[in-house]
Amino acid sequence: MVRKTYSVPGPAVEGSEPLDQLAGRISAYFKTNNYQVKEAGETITYAPKPPTFIHLRHPIPLLSR
């Protein structure tokens, strides 16, 4: 497992993004890249989504020449 920590300027820094807007943007980034929230609190932990499998009702015939 690789652990990365990102720090961004908080609301006390002049000219920084509003906290709700920043949190939404970060969350959208991780969801777009197939991550889900694993733990949420003072620190939010994201983990990769487990793979999903498509179950076919009818098997696809093999095509051969």
The string of pLDDT tens digits covering residues 2-40 is 788 888 888 889 988 888 898 889 889 988 888 888 888
pLDDT at 7: 84
Handedness of CA 33, 36, 38, 42 (dihedral sign): positive
List the domain boundaries for the chain.
Answer: 1-65
Helix, strand, coil percent content, the chain, rounded in steps of 5: 20, 15, 65
The pTM (predicted TM-score) of the whole model is: 0.60
Q: Which helix (H) or strand (E) holds 29?
A: helix 19-32
